[in-house]
Amino acid sequence: MVRTFLRWGFAFLFKLLSRLEVVGLENVPPEGGIILAINHLSILDPPLVFAMVERQDATVLTADKYKNNVFIRWIIDSVDGIWINREEADFNALRAARAYLQGGGLLGIAPEGTRSRNGAINPPKTGIAFLADRAGVPVLPVAVSGTESAFRRVLRFHRPPIKIQFGPPFCLPPVDRRNREADLQRNTDEIMCRIAAMLPEEYRGVYAEHPRLKELLTGGAQEAQIEKNMDADFHEIAQINT
């Protein structure tokens, strides 16, 4: 009941106070262990994702520094969130996260580890790639834009535009123990590039010039052109038939 109340309440507030655009929600599988990887601009990002994902097993990996905030702590504990110490290798939290994922749960993670101070993607940590490999689950990239200035604009009685886009889930290649660090970085870069590909250019940050991002953007443009050509062909055929 608490989960349902929180989800309804967050969704209501976002739709009331912002001009919210949600894209690709159908990409979230209805069941099964999966990591939602999200860029992190604001404290609003976790409740936004939670409000949009209609799974009763959705939770989040959260920095334990927020335990000092009574309200945030109550929310995280209410959704069975997993607390992690980001200042060190918190293997207890990673083991709990792996068990949750292997049990079929949905876990939201911000690979950057903290909120961006410049509104763009900052260098991420490789913990998300490590967890995905150990748990053996797919990753679903989530791109958020507009939340970094939402509070300020609401206080000025404006409804800020906020967009959240869910990409298709994908599986990462396995990590070779003999080349562990390089493989973890490769997989982390793949996750972040897939997030960056769904963001406006000014949000891409340290991945703006990454070769893999350029591949994804080129591929997306080619797919869009194919769809456009197919629509034109269909329209032409329809005119001939009439």
* Of 66-70, 84-88, 119-123, the least confident: 84-88
Same domain? 52 vs 108: yes
Half-sphere exposure of 26 (CA within 13 A, CB side): 0
Same domain? 58 vs 161: yes
pLDDT of residue 178: 92
Tally of residues, the chain: 242
The answer to whether 167 and 24 have CB atoms below 8 angstroms apart is yes
Same domain? 160 vs 230: no
pLDDT of residue 210: 97
* Of 89-98, 104-113, 131-140, 161-170, the least confident: 89-98
pLDDT of residue 220: 58
Same domain? 155 vs 189: yes
Same domain? 146 vs 121: yes
Same domain? 236 vs 151: no
Rounded distance between C-alpha atoms, residue 81 and residue 107, angstroms: 9
pLDDT of residue 221: 52
Computed on alpha carbons and rounded to an integer, the radius of gyration of the chain in Å comes to: 19
Strand ranges inside the chain, DSSP E: 19-23, 34-38, 58-63, 82-84, 106-109, 139-145, 161-166
239: pLDDT strictly greater than 90: no
The single residue listed with the structure tokens 């929180």 is: 6
- Tell me what the mean pLDDT of segment 195-211 comes to: 96
Rounded distance between C-alpha atoms, residue 125 and residue 110, angstroms: 9
Same domain? 29 vs 115: yes
- Number of Cβ within 10 Å of residue 157's Cβ equals 6
Rounded distance between C-alpha atoms, residue 124 and residue 104, angstroms: 25
94: pLDDT strictly greater than 70: yes
Same domain? 41 vs 110: yes
Same domain? 131 vs 221: no
Start-to-end C-alpha separation, the chain: 55
pLDDT of residue 73: 92
Q: What is the pTM of this model?
A: 0.87
pLDDT of residue 199: 97
Phi, psi of 87 (to 5 degrees): -85, -5
- Tell me what the mean pLDDT of segment 99-119 comes to: 94
Q: How many domains does the chain have?
A: 2
Residue 37: give the domain boundaries. Answer: 2-209
Q: What confidence tens digit (pLDDT) does each residue in 146-170 have?
A: 999 998 899 888 999 999 999 999 9
Rounded distance between C-alpha atoms, residue 101 and residue 160, angstroms: 34
